[in-house]
């Protein structure tokens, strides 16, 4: 019996980095694009998001929760230069892209996987680390295998190494983007030429995947166990094609499974949730929680990883040690040592994400490096002081000898 989906969507996430000295200019360019609007969070409308994160992390991710209507109105009256300057001072700024009305129907096509782009968002940190998020959902198909194949193929859509013919069976339904190539050009236009992420060992040719699927309860219930569909789930969780036949290794897969009919799989290249429609919560409240509280937890983890990798890279540069040490201490104080939520599942998810992304390993490596550099700086400083003292002593000795000779001649 083929697995059927009840509801599904996938976010494709593209991390990139703008040079910090160009960040203000980049924000200005985004503001000039009239289709992008700054996201201002409303406490009442986003109460679950507001209460999920603890104050320190909330201030980092959603600082404009503190913007009241008057402050927003004043901001909107600023010119673009003033707006970009103000936003550049915010730790994190988010933008929503206005997508034109979706095209319905297949335009005479009968084969392929049809999908819509529901949302496009930008999340920009003032360190220059940014994320492009594209939310998609498959149209006119309830096959779980189509979700598996779509996620597998779409994540490589921005690759320069791939031939577009591989995506001919993926059909885009949107007035904004006529085809995959058009979407690829849009991504390049948004990211621009200021990207420096390639220096941080991050794959620029592949999207990260954040996917939700609720399958029909007939496939997974009290009588039909998860083990019956596990092989299909492992393809989905590992972002493999539906035709994949080899044995699966679970070594690189972390699973959050604190519910009877929900499982969240985490690998280095994505987060995939599967649930059963046996529980109404799974296809009503859970999809909203997953693309808000859990999505931003994932973004925060990715941000930490990229930021730490950047510090690791910059540590190799000479003359920047004091600045980098201060940045590392500020990062540790503002984010690293902070609990992000009091929610049990949210905390478990965050720890699993950190484990898969090897954040603790990267952090400890950099900490040891910084300690070593700091000690070396102190040693160099002490050597310079000792040299200064030695020179001063020699000069003093020479002066004393000269004075002694002068005194002897006077006698």
Pick the closest to residue 14 from 207, 295, 254 (CA basis).
Answer: 207
Assess whether 155 and 231 both reside in one domain: yes
Assess whether 52 and 113 both reside in one domain: yes
In a domain, 299, yes or no: no
Domain residues for 349? 307-410
Pick the closest to residue 90 from 55, 60, 70 (CA basis).
Answer: 60
pTM (2 decimals)? 0.85
Assess whether 10 and 144 both reside in one domain: yes
Assess whether 214 and 353 both reside in one domain: no
Assess whether 225 and 363 both reside in one domain: no
253, 288, 323 - which closes a domain: 288
Residue 380: pLDDT over 90: no
259, 288, 317 - which closes a domain: 288
Average pLDDT, the chain: 82
> Of all helices (H) and strands (E), which one includes residue 137?
strand 129-139
- Average the pLDDT over 93-116 and give the result: 69
Assess whether 182 and 224 both reside in one domain: yes
Assess whether 168 and 140 both reside in one domain: yes
Q: Which two tokens stand for residue 141?
A: 């198909």
Assess whether 112 and 165 both reside in one domain: yes
Assess whether 135 and 269 both reside in one domain: yes
Assess whether 254 and 124 both reside in one domain: yes
Q: What is the pLDDT of residues 136-153, one digit of tens each?
A: 999 888 999 999 999 998
Taking CA atoms, 90 is separated from 122, 266, 379, 380, in Å, by 14, 30, 38, 37
Burial class of 99 by CB neighbour count within 10 A (0 to 12, 13 to 18, 19+): middle
CA distance 308 to 302: 10
Q: What is the pLDDT of residues 331-376, one digit of tens each?
A: 988 899 899 999 999 999 999 999 999 999 998 888 887 775 555 4
Residue 382: pLDDT over 50: no
Assess whether 61 and 102 both reside in one domain: yes
Q: Which two tokens stand for residue 241?
A: 């094609």
Confidence bin at 168 (pLDDT 50/70/90): low
Query: Angle at Cα 154 formed by Cα 148 and Cα 160, nearest 5°?
Result: 145
256, 288, 320 - which closes a domain: 288
In a domain, 297, yes or no: no
Q: How many domains does the chain have?
A: 2
Confidence bin at 20 (pLDDT 50/70/90): confident
In the chain, pLDDT over 70 holds for what percent of residues? 76
| Residues paired with residue 133 on neighbouring β-strands, in sequence order | 13, 121
> Of all helices (H) and strands (E), which one includes residue 355?
helix 344-356
In a domain, 183, yes or no: yes
Residue 107: pLDDT over 60: no
In a domain, 352, yes or no: yes
Of 318 and 48, the one with more pLDDT:
48
In a domain, 145, yes or no: yes
Residue 38: pLDDT over 60: yes
| Residues paired with residue 94 on neighbouring β-strands, in sequence order | 123
In a domain, 208, yes or no: yes
């Amino acid at each position: 019996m083929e697995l059927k989906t009840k509801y599904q969507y996938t976010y494709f996430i593209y991390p990139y980095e703008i040079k910090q000295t160009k960040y203000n200019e980049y924000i200005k360019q985004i503001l000039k694009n009239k289709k992008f609007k700054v996201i201002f969070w409303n406490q009442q409308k986003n109460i679950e998001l507001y209460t999920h994160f603890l104050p320190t992390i909330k201030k980092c991710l959603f600082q404009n929760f503190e913007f009241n209507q008057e402050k927003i109105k004043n901001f909107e009256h600023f010119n673009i230069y003033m707006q970009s300057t103000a936003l550049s001072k915010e730790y994190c700024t988010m933008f929503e892209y206005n997508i034109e009305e979706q095209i319905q129907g297949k335009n005479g096509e009968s084969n392929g996987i049809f999908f819509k782009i529901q949302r496009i968002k930008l999340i920009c940190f003032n360190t220059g680390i940014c994320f492009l998020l594209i939310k998609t959902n498959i149209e006119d198909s309830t096959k779980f295998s189509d979700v598996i194949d779509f996620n597998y193929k779409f994540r490589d859509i921005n690759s320069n190494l791939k031939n577009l013919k591989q995506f001919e069976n993926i059909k885009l339904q949107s007035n904004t983007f006529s085809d995959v190539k058009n979407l690829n050009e849009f991504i390049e236009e948004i990211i621009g030429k200021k990207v420096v992420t390639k220096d941080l060992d991050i794959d620029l040719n592949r999207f990260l995947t954040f996917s939700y699927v609720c399958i029909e309860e007939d496939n997974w219930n009290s009588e039909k166990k998860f083990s019956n569909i596990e092989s299909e789930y492992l393809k989905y969780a590992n972002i493999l094609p539906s035709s994949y036949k080899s044995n699966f290794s679970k070594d690189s897969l972390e699973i959050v499974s604190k519910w009877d009919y929900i499982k969240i799989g985490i690998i280095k290249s994505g987060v995939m949730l599967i649930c059963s429609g046996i529980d109404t919560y799974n296809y009503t409240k859970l999809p909203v929680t997953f693309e808000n509280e859990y999505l931003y937890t994932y973004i925060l983890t990715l941000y930490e990883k990229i930021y730490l990798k950047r510090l690791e890279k910059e540590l190799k540069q000479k003359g920047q040690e004091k600045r980098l040490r201060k940045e590392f201490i500020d990062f540790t104080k503002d984010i690293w040592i902070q609990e992000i939520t009091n929610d049990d599942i949210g905390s478990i998810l965050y720890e699993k994400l950190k484990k898969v992304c090897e954040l603790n390993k990267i952090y400890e490596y950099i900490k040891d490096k910084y300690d070593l550099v700091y000690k070396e700086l102190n040693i160099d400083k002490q050597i310079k002081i000792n040299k200064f003292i030695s020179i001063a002593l020699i000069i003093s000795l020479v002066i004393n000898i000269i004075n002694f000779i002068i005194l002897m001649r006077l006698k």
